[in-house]
């Protein structure tokens, strides 16, 4: 007889049928009306998206709690405007990006915040890769917020240009243009940085001349 | 830059509890604004009402035989669905565009009509061509046709038979230029028949002023290919650039919601010369990449470098092609 492993003995059995996807508009309406269960469900649904977007833009978890908090406050305050014509996660992402813009423009963070990124690292990361990431975000600090956000979402977070455009509320051509300009600027900065330049491909080094 | 980025380090459960608690406290303190979600009011665009009024006055419709006055095909200006047409009833519709493109939809085809164009469209059951392109440019996306039925476009003295494809036709003098994006079309001029496949284009019928007895043809209609010639009047060049700009702007607004239509409009805008045409061609290449069509994107980039070697995106275009080669 097959015994159930100890770690699974207290878990609930997996339902045979996947639970239904909640109606986003109904959920948003209920949360906007102040229903605690709906608010908690919205929070659980959006927390990873909000954190992930902010992390990719800012580059570290230091002081990110404040940003996550600000984003959720904005999201809850705007829920009554949600019309269900976009996914709730996409809609919330737009708000999160706006909060990120405000943060970047205020330059609330210091360069030391970027250095703090080196504190949290998985043990298996190479030292130069950690340093490269730190310097990348330091270089991103030198871009304007629009280019930084577009680059972070596209190149670091791996989103498509269509998604970046939707979240930053611009056309795809504008999003593309911002990413290209950010790339060109970062390439120039990287060429002058011995650590960053070691991460450039030969073509990138050649085109940066 | 090369390399993958590390995964996002999660926040601790304590941090999440803290955040959630602070959020709810803040909302309670300041009173989150809660308004009931209002159902969207039905919005009848003015253009739709105007089109309906025009239909009612019978100004927009040209019927060859007595029959229903219902719309032949739906367009943006008149989105009512096309009724089933019975044999014996032949309806036609004359459409002119000025500043904005127009989308004409049949059950088996959708046609983007560029600004400053004029077309005569016929019902699917009518014999002869489905559409006569009198002036300007139209971009077609046509489903494969059933046996015994042809989708034919007449443009000056050039006849285009569609075998299920995506293509554009532009009036050039007495003839036409045909560009095929997808599928196969057959182009006939006099006794010559050409089959074009994806990526090919053909300009036919320019040297001949022979008409086909079809009324209303304007052999002097300006074409985008001719606008930069020394003999083209300045007003024609200005109008062509304005068309390219309008098409580009329209396409840009459609990229997120309707990328295929945006691509068709970019294609039309890219026909001309000048910066708007260049931007449109580059945007077309980027869209093709986004739609996971690298072969098509490469073709557009190569065309860009051929036509606009010193364009603002030329460096990026070369870079993209080099990357694809690898």
Q: What is the pLDDT of residues A138-178, one digit of tens each?
A: 888 888 888 899 999 998 888 888 889 889 988 777 788 78
Please give the Cα distance from A81 to B214 (Å, whole number). 55
Write down the pLDDT at residue A76: 94
Write down the pLDDT at residue B43: 41
Closest-CA residue of B relative to A160 is B290
Distances in Å between the Cα of B275 and the Cα atoms of B66, B240, B246, B280 are 48, 12, 13, 8
Is the Cβ pair A207, B319 closer than 8 Å?
yes
Please give the Cα distance from A74 to B295 (Å, whole number). 43
Is the Cβ pair A173, B286 closer than 8 Å?
yes
Is the Cβ pair A201, B11 closer than 8 Å?
no
Which A positions 47-106 lie with beta carbon below 8 A of chain B?
A: 47, 51-52, 55-56, 61, 64-65, 68-69, 72-73, 76-77, 80, 82-83
State whether residue B5 sits within 8 Å of chain A by CB. yes
Is the Cβ pair A120, B32 closer than 8 Å?
no
Q: Return the higher-pLDDT residue of B63 and A117.
A: A117
Please give the Cα distance from B294 to B5 (Å, whole number). 25
DSSP state of B240: H
Judged against a pLDDT cut of 70, whether residue A53 lies above it is answered with yes
State whether residue A176 sits within 8 Å of chain B by CB. yes
Please give the Cα distance from A88 to B94 (Å, whole number). 43
Is the Cβ pair B255, A171 closer than 8 Å?
yes
Is the Cβ pair B256, A204 closer than 8 Å?
no
Closest-CA residue of B relative to A25 is B37
Q: How many CB atoms lie within 10 A of CB B218?
A: 14
Matching residue, tokens 């000025």: B98
Rounded average pLDDT over A17-31: 74
State whether residue B69 sits within 8 Å of chain A by CB. no
Is the Cβ pair A200, B1 closer than 8 Å?
yes
Write down the pLDDT at residue B42: 40
Please give the Cα distance from A105 to A107 (Å, whole number). 5
Write down the pLDDT at residue A21: 54
Nearest residue to B173 via CA among B209, B213, B137: B209
- DSSP of A108-145, one letter per residue? -S-HHHHHGGGTS--TTS-HHHHHHHHHHHHHHTTS-H
State whether residue B286 sits within 8 Å of chain A by CB. yes
- Do the Cβ atoms of B120 and B132 come closer than 8 Å? yes
Q: What is the ipTM of this complex?
A: 0.71
State whether residue B39 sits within 8 Å of chain A by CB. no
Residue A144 Cα, gap to closest chain B Cα (Å): 19
- Across the beta sheet with B137-142, what order do the strands follow? B74-75, B102-105, B109-113, B137-142, B165-172, B175-182, B201-204
- Average pLDDT score, chain B: 69
- Do the Cβ atoms of B287 and A172 come closer than 8 Å? yes
Matching residue, tokens 């990449």: B289
Write down the pLDDT at residue B69: 36
Q: What is the pLDDT of residues B248-303, one digit of tens each?
A: 888 877 877 788 888 888 888 888 778 888 888 988 888 887 676 777 888 898 89
- Do the Cβ atoms of B169 and B180 come closer than 8 Å? no
Please give the Cα distance from A121 to A115 (Å, whole number). 12
Write down the pLDDT at residue A54: 94
Characterize the bridge pairing of strands B151-155 and B131-135.
parallel
Residues of chain B with pLDDT under 70: 1-4, 30-91, 164, 205-242, 290, 292, 319-320, 322-326
Q: Which of A96, A134, A173 to mutate to test the interface with B (most CBs of B within 10 A)?
A: A173
Judged against a pLDDT cut of 80, whether residue A15 lies above it is answered with no
Query: Which residues does chain A have within 8 Å of residue B319's beta carbon, measured at their own beta carbons?
Result: 203, 207
Cα(first)–Cα(last) distance of chain B, in Å? 15
Is the Cβ pair A64, B11 closer than 8 Å?
yes
Task: Please name the residue ranges forming H helices in A3-87.
Answer: 24-32, 36-58, 64-78
Distances in Å between the Cα of A57 and the Cα atoms of A96, A111, B71, B228, B243 are 10, 14, 51, 46, 39
Which residue in A39, A61, A176 is closest to B11 by CB distance?
A61
- Average pLDDT score, chain A: 77
Write down the pLDDT at residue A36: 86
Is the Cβ pair A83, B37 closer than 8 Å?
yes
Write down the pLDDT at residue B106: 84
- DSSP of B183-215, one letter per residue? SEEEEEETTEEEEEETT-EEEESSS-----S-T
Cα(first)–Cα(last) distance of chain A, in Å? 69
Write down the pLDDT at residue A48: 93
Query: Which residues does chain B have within 8 Å of residue A200's beta carbon, measured at their own beta carbons?
Result: 1-2
Matching residue, tokens 């003839």: B175
Q: Return the higher-pLDDT residue of A119 and B257.
A: B257
Is the Cβ pair A172, B256 closer than 8 Å?
yes
Nearest residue to A108 via CA among A63, A168, A151, A140: A63
Handedness of CA B19, B21, B23, B29 (dihedral sign): negative
Write down the pLDDT at residue A142: 85
Query: Which residues does chain B have within 8 Å of residue A185's beta carbon, measured at their own beta carbons?
Result: none
Chain centroid to Cα A75, Å, comes to 15
- Do the Cβ atoms of B186 and B158 come closer than 8 Å? no
What is the CB-side half-sphere exposure of residue B176 using CA atoms within 13 A?
29
Is the Cβ pair A155, B1 closer than 8 Å?
yes
Please give the Cα distance from B90 to B68 (Å, whole number). 9
Matching residue, tokens 């329209």: B250
Task: Please name the residue ranges forming H helices in chain B.
Answer: 13-30, 46-57, 234-254, 259-269, 275-290, 294-307, 314-325
Rounded average pLDDT over A12-22: 50
Residue B36 Cα, gap to closest chain A Cα (Å): 7
Please give the Cα distance from B236 to B242 (Å, whole number). 10
Query: Which residues does chain A have within 8 Å of residue B322's beta carbon, measured at their own beta carbons?
Result: 203
Closest-CA residue of B relative to A86 is B257
């Amino acid at each position: 007889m097959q015994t159930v492993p100890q770690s699974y003995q207290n878990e609930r059995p997996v339902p045979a049928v996947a639970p239904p996807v909640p109606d986003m508009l109904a959920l948003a309406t209920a949360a906007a009306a102040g229903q605690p269960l709906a608010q908690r469900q919205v929070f659980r649904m959006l927390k990873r998206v909000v954190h992930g977007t902010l992390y990719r833009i800012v580059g570290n978890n230091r002081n990110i709690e404040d940003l996550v908090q600000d984003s959720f406050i904005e999201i809850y305050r705007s829920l009554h405007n949600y019309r269900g014509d976009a996914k709730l996660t996409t809609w919330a992402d737009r708000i999160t990006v706006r909060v990120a813009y405000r943060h970047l423009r205020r330059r609330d963070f210091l360069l030391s915040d970027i250095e703090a990124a080196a504190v949290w690292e998985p043990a298996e990361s190479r030292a130069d890769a950690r340093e490269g990431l730190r310097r990348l975000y330091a270089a991103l600090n030198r871009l304007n917020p629009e280019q930084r956000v577009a680059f972070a979402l596209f190149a670091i977070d791996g989103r498509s240009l269509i998604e970046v455009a939707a979240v930053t509320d611009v056309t795809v051509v504008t999003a593309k243009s911002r990413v290209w300009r950010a790339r060109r600027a970062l390439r120039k900065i990287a060429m002058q940085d011995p650590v960053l330049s070691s991460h450039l491909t030969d073509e990138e080094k050649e085109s940066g001349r | 830059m090369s390399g993958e980025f590390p995964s996002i380090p999660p926040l601790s459960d304590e941090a999440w509890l803290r955040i959630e608690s602070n959020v709810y406290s803040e909302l309670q303190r300041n009173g989150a604004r809660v308004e009931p979600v209002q159902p969207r009011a039905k919005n009848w665009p003015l253009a739709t009402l105007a089109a309906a009024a025009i239909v009612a006055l019978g100004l927009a419709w040209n019927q060859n035989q007595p029959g229903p006055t219902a719309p032949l095909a739906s367009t943006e200006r008149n989105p009512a669905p096309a009724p089933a047409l019975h044999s014996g009833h032949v309806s036609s519709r004359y459409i002119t565009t000025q500043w904005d493109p127009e989308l004409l939809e049949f059950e088996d085809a959708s046609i983007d009509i560029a600004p400053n164009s004029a077309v005569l469209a016929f019902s699917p059951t009518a014999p002869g061509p489905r559409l006569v392109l009198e002036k300007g440019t139209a971009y077609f996306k046509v489903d494969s046709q059933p046996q015994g039925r042809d989708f034919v476009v007449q443009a000056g003295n050039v006849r285009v038979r569609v075998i299920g494809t995506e293509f554009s036709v532009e009036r050039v003098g007495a003839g036409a230029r045909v560009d095929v994006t997808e599928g196969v079309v057959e182009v006939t001029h006099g006794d010559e028949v050409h089959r074009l496949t994806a990526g090919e284009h053909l300009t036919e019928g320019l040297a001949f002023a022979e008409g086909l007895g079809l009324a209303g043809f304007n052999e002097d209609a300006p074409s985008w290919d001719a606008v930069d010639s020394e003999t083209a009047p300045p007003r024609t060049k200005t109008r062509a650039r304005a068309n390219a700009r309008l098409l580009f702007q329209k396409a840009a607004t459609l990229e997120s919601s309707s990328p295929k239509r945006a691509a068709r409009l970019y294609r039309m805008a890219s026909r001309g010369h000048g910066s708007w045409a260049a931007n449109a061609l580059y945007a077309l290449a980027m869209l093709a990449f986004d739609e996971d069509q690298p072969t098509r994107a490469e073709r557009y980039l190569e065309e860009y470098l051929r036509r606009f070697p010193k364009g603002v995106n030329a460096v990026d275009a070369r870079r993209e092609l080099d990357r694809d080669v690898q």
